[in-house]
Every structure is written in C-alpha cells, then in structure tokens.
Chains A and B, each alone.
Chain A
Amino acid sequence: MNLLTAVLFLPLAGFLVALAIPRSSPQASRIWALALSLAVFVSALGLLAWFDRGLATEQFTVDVQWINSPDIHFHVAADGVSLWLALLSTFLTPICVLISWRSIQSRVKEFYAFLLLLEFGLIGVFLAQDLFLFYVFWEVSLVPMYFLIGVWGHERRIYAAVKFFLFTMAGSVLMLAAIIYLYTRAQTFNYTTILDLLSSGRLTFAPGEQMLLFLAFFVAFAIKVPLFPLHTWLPDAHVEAPSAGSVMLASVMLKMGTFGILHYCLPMFPSAARSCAPWIVILAIIGIIYGALVAMVQPNMKKLVAYSSVSHLGFVILGIFSFTQQGLDGAVYQMLNHGISTGALFVLVGLLYERRHSLEIADYGGVATAAPWLSTAFLVTTLASIGLPLLNNFVGEFLVLQGAALANFKWAVYAALGVILSACYMLWLYQRVFFGELGPEVRAHAPDLNLREWAAVIPLVAMMVWMGVYSQSFLPPVGKTTALVLEQTRINVPFQVRNGQASPKVSLEASNAR
C-alpha cells in the first residue's frame, strides 16, 4: 500500500459508499461525490509532490500477485506521463461534479456513483503495469461511460451509447487478443519484464508478427483517440452525453488511446511503429484538416467541439509518430492541454445549455451582453483552443509542429493549416453565440456565472494560463519519460537484432543494470 494505490482505490471506495447512500437524499450523493473527488485530487497532488522529477522510470511501484495461473499481477506505477494523466483525471472529476449539480436531477445517486467508478477506471488505465490489469481497467472505464451516455444523455442517447460501445469494443477485442498472444510468447503480462525481454533480445517477433500485434493494439487505441476515419462515434457520443460525460470523454478517455500508443505501441513494437509512421501521419494530418473543416460547418455547438477534438488529437498522433523528442513532448503536453481546454469548452457549453436548453448555435447571439463573465471565460478558452501564445495549447502545438518539421518539413506545412482553420471555426462560433444583438430568449435565460459555476471554471482558466506561461512546471518529467520511450524505439529494434546479430550479452547487462 502506498499513496499511489490510495489515489487509485479512493474513487472505488467512494463508488461503493455512493451506492449505499439512500436514493431519497440526492444532496448527500452530490456532497459525497464532491468531497471524495476533492480528496482524491489532493492525494494525487501529494503524488506529484513526492514524485522524483529526475527519474525517467516508473515510481511508486506496487506489485502484488493477483491471480496465480495465469500469472496476473496487481502491478501499478506512475511515470512522467501517466502521473500527469492521472492527475488530470482527478482534477476534472470534482469539476464534473460541480457542473452536474443542478443539471442532473434524475437518478442522482447512480450518476455520481458511475462518475466515481469512471474515475477509478481511468486512473487505473494510466497506472497499470500489467497488461491484463490494463485491459481490465480499460473495460472498467468503458462501462460507466456507456451508462452516463445511455441513461443521462439527450434524445438519441441509446443510439450514441451503443455506437460508442460497439466502436470501442471492436477495438478492445483486438487488443485483448494481442495481449493474450503476447502472454503466450513472453509468459508474462508484466509490462516492464516484456520490455526487458525485448531489449535484451530474449524475446523477438517476426516482422509480420510484430506488425499484426502492433496493428491490434494500434487499432484499439486509434478508435479511442479517435483517428480519422474511425472518429464517427465521437460527435454522436458528445452530443448525446451529459456535460460531465462529455468532459470526461473528451478530456480523459480520448487520452487512453494516445497514451496507449505512446506507452505500449512504440516501446513494444518499435519497428512496426516506425514503418507504419508515414501512413499514420497521413491519417493524422487528414484528421487535423478534415476535423477542422467539418467543425467549421456544424450548426451544433457540441458537434463543433467534438470535430475540433478530432483535429486536436490529430496533432497528438502527428507528434508521437514524428519520433522526435519535441514531437513526443508536444504530444503529451497536447494531451493535457486538450484535456483542460476542450474540457473547459464542454463545461461552458454545458452551462449555456443549462440556461437556454439548446445546443444549436442559431438559438444564441448576444450572450456577451447578458453574461459578460461567462463570455470572458469562453473567450479565454477559445483563445487557448486556437493556440494563442501564453495559453496552454500553444506550447503543445509548437512542440508537435516543431517535431514534425524536424522529421519531415512537409508534415509541418500541412498540419499548420489546421492552425489557420481552428481560428476560423472557433471565432465564427464565438461570434454567433456571444456577439450580435441580444435576443429576448437569450436575455431571459442567460444569467451570468454563479458561485458554483465560478468554482468549476476558474481552475480550468488558471491552468490554461499556467501551462501556457510556465511549461517548466510540467514538461521536465514528461521529457524524461518520452526520452526513454524514444530510446526504446531506437535500441530495441528486433529486426536488426536478428539480422545484425547484435550481441545479446551487452543488452542483457544493460537491462540488468536498469
């Protein structure tokens, strides 16, 4: 037991307690969820405080036998990337509780219970060091999200939930197959052991074998990201989901995909990843431009933000597959940035929906007159989202594009077009919703932020500024971990080991030394 397991299991405990809260007192459920999620966040901050920023390897490791045969461990740890993603999940959960305070009025108890279960699953996904455990968390996070959309969503919620479930499940099944196959080859689910085996040459894959395994993992992750053309579940899921669902989905769940690619696909199957990179980059760039163009013509705010996510996540994929330090750092930073700024967009769109009960852009106009502070918060978020310097996204986009430019300048040229287009769709959205004459409908239904809403919005805006102005608070641990990943994709290229007869002894010693 250490702090890491406490951060992981607190939400699960909270979930169980939430189930026990009587249905008759919804306020108790809300307060419990808020208190617990705040407690989780504070303990996650403790994790941050004790994290050794000088180390690239996993920290806070806990490894306990879970199932004897097959050999499955409860094995969790945090590195410089997963730490931030876990922290992001714990940061956003209290905000989700706050914004659901009034908008969720039916089955309140179950809603908050699922929210906490979702938090448990998401944190677990980022921390798991055992492939089977990873898969379990992957699925655990899927279930509460399915219910959040399917039960508390809007009109077409069932369609959206099923679509979401089917898409993700299709990928998960492939991944499960690959995980079990890996077990038959490596005799272990232990991620670090598998990497050691690979780097020491004791475990090698034939090219076709590696390619299939890579693709099985990659497709599962790419659906989650979502990478063009596997993205069509996302707009539907977002539009139908309640605000809190949209926030968790966009901010954290999509990162399961990009995290998976970075954490599993690259180190375990480096040759396949490198040989697929040009094709994946093309898809990423198509996604950047395509997502932006389609976002531009959406009449529905949430769909617009959803398509913008397709565009933003394209940058993350581009960064990862540039195989440069800047690209990887930028990709991770962009994962966090997108979590903050798109999360904030969904929070603010949710606040608008609570007021006017519409997601159609055409139903708005003149909100800036009626609710100036809400409009200001939305403006800052808009600017963050379009990559204005001194706000968070700029740092990530800059590093990603710089990495892409170092790898292949043409990639940067095409991807940078997305930066122009992002200004188009976001500013047009802002103009139509917030500027213009104030209509009677909006005037009657658009009060400014109240105290609870301020509490949800301020932390997000503060993070946008902090991450944009002083990235050194966040980037160094990320850089340590991504440098290690990059090294793994270089040293451990089995094709070369096999052909070049590189001495396995040396790498064995190296791995022992580690």
Chain B
Amino acid sequence: MQLWLIPIFPLAGFLINGLFGRRLSKSVVSAVAVGSVALSFAWALKILIGLGDLNHAYTEHYFTWIQSGSLTINCDFAVDRLTAVMLMVVTGIGSLIHIYSIGYMAHEGGYYRFFSYLNLFMFFMLTLVLAANYLVLFVGWEGVGLCSYLLIGFYFDKKFATDAGNKAFIVNRIGDFGFSLAIFYIVKHFGSLDFGTVFGQAAGKPESALTIIGLLLMVGACGKSAQLPLYVWLPDAMAGPTPVSALIHAATMVTAGVYMTARSWPIYTHAPGAMEVIAVIGIATAFFAATIGLAQNDIKKVFAYSTVSQLGYMFVGVGCGAFSAGIYHLMTHAFFKALLFLGSGSVIHALSGEQDMRNMGGLRKKIRWTFLTMMCAAVAIAGVPPFAGFFSKDAILLAAYQHAPWMYWLGTITAGITAFYVFRAMFLTFFGKYRGQAHPHESPAVMIAPLAVLAVLSLAGGFLFKIPTYLGTVFPAMEEAEDPILMAISTFAGLFGIFLAWLMYVAKPGMADAFAGSVKGLYTLVYNKYFVDEIYDAAVITPLVEGSRAVLWKGVDAGAIDGAVNGIGARAQDVGGVLRLLQSGNIRSYATWVLFGSVLVIVAMGIAGGMR
C-alpha cells in the first residue's frame, strides 16, 4: 500500500523549499508546502479506504535500520485504527494550518524557511504515528522536537525566541532521557522493540519490570506532552509564529505523549501502579495549569496553559484505562484548540502584532468571522453540549469517576475554571470597548476558510466521529457507564464558568480587578505562574552552570589535574633543550626519547621477571 509515501511527500516539500526556496517565488513555495501536505492527506485517506475495517494492524517492512548481535531494528510502518485516527488528525489539521499560514506569514521574512520547517515537522509527526516499533517512533519523537525548536526560535534574532527554543529542546531532552531508558529496558526484557513482539509478550512479564517501563515511558510523555513537572517549556514556546502554536504546540506534537502511552496500553494494563501515577499527574496538571490560565493577559499564553491543562485531561483518560477517551479528547482538542490559536492568530494579525488582551476589546464587530469561529471553539472547550469538547471530556470524567471519585470532582472544578478563563479571554478580546491603538481589519479568506472548517469540526466533531466506538477493537473494553447526574454536574460547572466570566468581564467590568485585589497574595502567586521557572533556575540551572565553571573547570581541570601535571610540566622545562632540538627537526633528539624508553623497558622487564 506504500505507506511510506504518506510521510515522504512532506519530506520532499521540505527538501525543495529548504534547498531552493530562497530562489522560488512565494506562490511556488506555498504551492509546494501545501500541496505536499494535501497529497499526504489524500494518500492517507486512500490507504485507509483501501484497508477497510482495519481490525488488524497492517504492517510494511522497508529495510533494516540497525542490527547488532541478536538485536534487529527495522524501519517498519504500520497502520491500525489508532494510527488511522492520528493520521487523519495530523494530515487534516496539518493541511488546514498550512493553508492558513499562507495568509498569516505573507508579510514575514523567511517565508520559505517557515514552510520547509513546517513540512519537515509533518514528515516526523507522520513517522511518529506510523512507526511499528519504539525506535522508529523515537525518530519521529525527536524529529518533531527538532522542528519545534526551529519554529519556536523562528525569529532567531530575538533572544527570547531562541531562549524559548533551547528551553523546549532541553526540557524535552529530560523527558527523552526517560523514554530512551525505557527503550533500553524493553530491549533488556523483551529483546525487541517491535510493538507486535513487545505487546504480545507483555502479559507474561513481571509487573515490576512493566511498571518501570511504564514509568520511564511516562517521563518521556511528560516532556513531550508538557505535564508536571516538565510543562515549563510549552508556555514559552508561544514565541514561535501562531500557526506553529496551533499545529505543533496544541493539535499534534504535544499530543504525542498521549498517543505513545495509549499505544503502549498492553504494558500499562499490566502495570496499574504506573497508570495510577499517570492519572494523578494528569489531573494535577489539568488543575494546576488551569489556575495559571486564569491570570494571564497574553492571549496566546492563556491558550498555552489551557493546552497544558487539556493534555492533563488526556493523561487522566489514559491513566484511568479509558484509552479511547484520551484519544477522543486528543482529536476534539485538536479541532477546538487549533481553532482557538488560529483565531487568536487572526486577532493578532488584525491588530498588527498585539497580543495583550488589555489592549483589545470590542473586536466582535470589527473582525466578525474571527469572532464567530472562535466562539464555536470556546463553547466546545467549555464542554457545552452537544459540541465536540462535551463528549470527550465527559468520557474522561466518567472514567475518572469509576477510577477514583476525587479525580472526577477535581476534573469538574477544572472544567469550570476552563470555561471561565476561555470566556474571560473571549470577553476581553471581543466585548466591551476597543482599548488599543491599531486599526483592526479582518483577515484574508485564506485564513478565514480554515477557521470555518475547524469551527464546523469543533461544533460537530464530537458526534460525527465516535472515536470510542471506532477504537473499541484496539483497546481493552471499558465498562460503559452512562451517569446522567455526573454528566449534568460537569456540564453545569462549564456553564457556571461561562456565566461567571460574563458577570466579571461584561456585566460588571470592575469586578475582576476588585476580586484580584481582595486576594492579592494568591493573585500574585498565580499571575507569576507560581514562580516555577524562577525555582528551576535557582535550584537546577544556576548551580549546575556555576558549579561546572567554578568547581569542575577551574577547580578540578585547571587546578587539580593540571596542577598535578605541572610537576611534569616543570620537568618539561628542564628538558627544554632536548625539545628545542626536536622542534628544530633534529631527528636524533627523538631517538633520545626512544632510548629513554628502552631504558625503562629493561627496568620493567627486570621487575616483571623477578615477579614471575
């Protein structure tokens, strides 16, 4: 079926634009970039139709990548229903965002560079979801990280952008540390990295080993999917162009951790301890990040923390054993969060780069289409029935209730907070009076069209694509628990959040500031994101760098070791005469050394002979 063509199209696009893009016109660059991704979407669709119901994974073998001793790692791709969902999300949303970028990036420098990176990202992301073993998955995993680094630091003359890029790469490396150790441990216990082999044998392995593997994989997932305590890179990643935030840092790459843990379900179902940790981390992240989202003024930062929080929900789903619910939310989140980011990109575009919501307001009439489409995303994320977010969030919260009721309650509170901060952002941006200086103008059709498609998906995606049913053959069956009361409670929490936001930012605009003033300490803490970055800086980075400089380099290297060698160095001064001869090219002085060596040999032989 030529699965390899799916990622190869964007790779070709990357090579064409990367190598020759500077000499090509903008329209050719965008045609290559968008065309390659659209082709990839079309090819994926054709394959999925051709493969029919996909009850069993379809695998293709290409070549042996690494072979050493008994360990063989092949370059294999496989498609099953889980991959099918991911393929559609990645190529579908990817195509939309590529189209949008034509308009968004039209006036930016480095146009071809942007699109070549974006295509490269598509290549790696598709490799990630098509991989049939952990190491090929890791190729995609690291590759999307690279593209994330390149695109966060796209404006590379700005230090904050390249700092954010480095932070993303390095924090992800900490996660990858765990992922790579998991890979080593899998090889140690299974002798293979192929999904088929590993998952087939997982049931027979000791729980302790599976728990270690599960936890190590989770460390990797926490890095990529921005969970506690490794989430810190994602908010900074907003330094990249907005389409990047939508594609990489909301819809696709950051969900790779969720995909990977869901993919590894045969390991996790035999390692309940590891699943419990995932669920706890997920719910803690969901709540924690949502509270930070309450006090952000940068529109992209709000949605960044929202992404961290929503990824937390997906972790809860996976951790509670509701793998399909996690993937369900992954898909609906891709719809509405991509839309929220692209919409805010349209707002930023309209205001010539303004991102601070304190300088917005009243835009709903000026940029009507942006407002309407974003509103669809807002009701979807707030969990208003029957829109997309309602179904998937509900599935996760019900699973959480079955697993541990406190997770459901915390998740419901978080749902309320989510609705509040999203609508706070909507109201601050689109309602009230315009507070800025720019002259807002609606974005071109090439940007609005993708927004419209995503708006439809955000509204209808939940009941159009019944992911839990579709994935029923992939994952172990969960007890279907329909509990109307629990559903009503969480829905009410969302509606209450919307109401509160309306009250504080539309009905009585002074109320928010008054409330913030009344809990000043708490507000400062949240406003400064709990000072986590500062704590990491003081506790890890500064000691590491300064310690390396003062202790290791100046102390050990220059002081201790070279100090000890200085004795020899001093003697080198004494035999400087010999060396000077040597430097003049006198071969006899070199012979002196050999002679000196021979003397030592005789001594050594004597000692060794005596020893025998």
A: which residues have CB within 8 A of B? 139, 143, 146-147, 150, 158, 161-163, 165-167, 169-170, 172-174, 176-178, 180-181, 184, 206, 208-209, 212, 216, 229, 231-232, 290, 293-294, 296-298, 324-326, 329-330, 366, 368-369, 383, 388-390, 394-395, 398-399, 401-402, 405-406, 409, 412-413, 416-417, 419-420, 423-424, 427-428, 431, 434-438, 469-472, 475-476, 479, 483
Contact = CB atoms under 8 A, between A and B. Distances in A.
Contacts of B593: 169, 173
Contact of A475 (B68, B174, B608): B68
Interface residues of B, number: 68
B145 to A, nearest CB: 9
Given A297-B553, A402-B184, A409-B184, A419 B612 contact: no
Given A208-B611, A366-B157, A406-B188, A417 B548 contact: no
Contacts of B581: none
A380 to B, nearest CB: 11
A412 B177 contact: no
B561 A232 contact: yes
A146 B562 CA distance: 20
B66 A395 contact: yes
B583 interface: yes
A435 B157 contact: yes
Of the listed residues A170, A209, A435, the one surrounded by the most CB atoms of chain B closer than 10 A to its CB is: A435
A296 B545 contact: yes
Given A139-B594, A296-B548, 8 more contacts: A172-B597, A180-B605, A209-B608, A293-B544, A293-B547, A330-B68, A388-B143, A476-B67
Given A206-B611, A297-B549, A324-B69, A150 B583 contact: yes
A269 to B, nearest CB: 14
B177 A206 contact: no
Contact of B157 (A229, A417, A437): A437
Given A399-B66, A402-B187, A424-B170, A416 B157 contact: no
21 contacts: A165-B582, A169-B593, A173-B593, A180-B605, A181-B604, A294-B552, A294-B553, A296-B544, A326-B71, A366-B157, A383-B146, A388-B146, A389-B135, A389-B142, A398-B135, A412-B181, A423-B169, A423-B173, A435-B156, A436-B162, A438-B157
Nearest to B167: A427
Given A388-B146, A419-B173, A405 B184 contact: yes
A423 B568 contact: no
A64 to B, nearest CB: 23
Contacts of A437: 157
B470 to A, nearest CB: 31
B600 interface: yes
A177 B187 contact: no
A428 B159 CA distance: 12
Given A176-B601, A479-B68, A232 B557 contact: yes
Given A209-B611, A419-B177, A162 B545 contact: no
A419 B544 CA distance: 15
A174 B596 CA distance: 11
A389 B138 contact: yes
Is the contact region of chain A dominated by helix, strand, or loop, or is it mixed?
helix
Nearest to B174: A420
Interface string B145-175: 0100100010011010011011001100110
Given A293-B544, A390-B139, A471 B561 contact: no
Nearest to A139: B594
A229 B563 CA distance: 12
B553 A405 contact: no
A265 to B, nearest CB: 17
Given A290-B552, A329-B69, A406 B187 contact: yes
Contact of B162 (A169, A369, A435): A435
Nearest to B585: A147
A150 B580 CA distance: 11
Nearest to A230: B561
Contact of A162 (B67, B185, B544, B579): B579
A163 B611 contact: no
A40 to B, nearest CB: 25
B85 to A, nearest CB: 24
Contacts of B180: 398, 401, 416, 419
A225 B512 CA distance: 65
B64 interface: yes
Given A390-B139, A435-B162, A405 B187 contact: yes
A416 B181 CA distance: 8
Contacts of A180: 598, 601, 605
Contacts of B203: none
Contacts of A330: 68
B572 interface: yes
B67 A472 contact: yes
Nearest to B141: A389
A435 B157 CA distance: 6
